Amino acid sequence: MADEAKQENKSKKIPLIIAAVVLVVALAGAGGWWYFQQQAKSMAMAVEVEPQVPIAALVKKPVFLELKKFVVSVPGDDRLHYLMMEMSVMSYDQDELDKLQDFLPVIRNAVITLLSKQHYNDLTQLGVMEPLQIALRDKLRRVMNDMASSNGIDQVLITKMVIQ
């Protein structure tokens, strides 16, 4: 009878022990999850605090080369339209802009070729400036890479644009 009582007490304790182990594992998992969430938040805050400025901007001051008066005819739905544009090329290296100036006829040709392929309706849409600046920058980078193995163009800024 004593053995039966001990057996009965042991069988009552087993679910209690299992519940305690499950509770400890669950609390450890919740604590680990909370800890890693706090780490991720602090990492995200540290990343957001860092400035999104190119490394060259921290070291050097940007220099600009102004490219004046591009006049191009662009096709429209019913007739040709005219686009007049001025822009500046930005770099953090004056030597790169000097190289660009050496190839100015090729640069002007690349810009005119790119602009003449644009459609009037596309150029009059809202938000066209940023994609057009990126397309011009990429085109000038390709030309300068082909001509002088140069990749120093950081931005192209459209400073004036008139479409008729």
Q: What is the dihedral of CA 82, 118, 131, 96, to 10 degrees?
A: -80
Domain 57-163 in this protein, CATH class: alpha beta
Domains of the chain, by residue range, sit at 1-50, 57-163
Which pLDDT score, from 0 to 100, does residue 147 have?
82
Nearest to 123, CA basis, from 155, 163, 93: 163
Question: Which has more confidence, 15 or 91?
Answer: 91
- Tell me the whole-structure pTM to 2 decimals: 0.61
pLDDT (tens digit per residue) in 5-57? 666 666 777 888 888 888 888 888 888 888 888 887 777 665 555 556 666 55
